[in-house]
Chains A and B, each alone.
Chain A
Amino acid sequence: SQTIHQWPATLVQPVGSPLSLECTVEGTSNPNLYWYRQAAGRGLQLLFYSVGIGQISSEVPQNLSASRPQDRQFILSSKKLLLSDSGFYLCAWRDRGYNEQFFGPGTRLTVL
Chain B
Amino acid sequence: KQEVTQIPAALSVPEGENLVLNCSFTDSAIYNLQWFRQDPGKGLTSLLLIQSSQREQTSGRLNASLDKSSGRSTLYIAASQPGDSATYLCAVRVADKLIFGTGTRLQVFP
Report A's interface with B, CB cutoff 8 A: 6, 32, 34, 42-44, 46, 49, 51, 59, 88, 90, 92, 99-106, 108
* Cα(A88)–Cα(B43), bound, Å: 9
**A42: B residues at CB distance < 8 A:** 102
Closest CB in chain A relative to B34 CB, distance in Å: 6
Chain A's closest residue to B102 (CB) is A43
Contact assessment for B46 and A100 in the assembled complex, using a CB-CB cutoff below 8 Å: yes
Closest CB in chain B relative to A84 CB, distance in Å: 19
Contact assessment for B96 and A32 in the assembled complex, using a CB-CB cutoff below 8 Å: yes
Contact A100/B43 with A43-B100, A49-B96 known, Cβ cut-off 8 Å: no
Contact assessment for A90 and B44 in the assembled complex, using a CB-CB cutoff below 8 Å: yes
Chain A's closest residue to B52 (CB) is A99
Contact assessment for B34 and A46 in the assembled complex, using a CB-CB cutoff below 8 Å: no
Q: Main SS of the interface on chain A?
A: strand
* Cα(A102)–Cα(B36), bound, Å: 10
* Cα(A49)–Cα(B94), bound, Å: 13
Contact assessment for B43 and A46 in the assembled complex, using a CB-CB cutoff below 8 Å: no
Contact assessment for B49 and A99 in the assembled complex, using a CB-CB cutoff below 8 Å: yes
Binary flags per residue of B5-46, CB closer than 8 Å to A gives 1, else 0: 000000000000000000000000001101010000111111
Report if B75 contacts A (CB, 8 A). Answer: no
Report if B97 contacts A (CB, 8 A). Answer: yes
Enumerate the 10 nearest inter-chain pairs by beta-carbon distance, A residue then B residue, closest first.
A103-B44, A43-B102, A103-B43, A44-B100, A105-B43, A106-B43, A100-B49, A99-B32, A43-B100, A104-B43
* Cα(A103)–Cα(B43), bound, Å: 6
Contact A108/B41 with A99-B31, A99-B51 known, Cβ cut-off 8 Å: yes
* Cα(A55)–Cα(B33), bound, Å: 25
**A99: B residues at CB distance < 8 A:** 31-32, 49, 51, 93
* Cα(A99)–Cα(B103), bound, Å: 21
Contact assessment for A101 and B51 in the assembled complex, using a CB-CB cutoff below 8 Å: no
Chain A's closest residue to B6 (CB) is A43
Contact assessment for B102 and A100 in the assembled complex, using a CB-CB cutoff below 8 Å: no
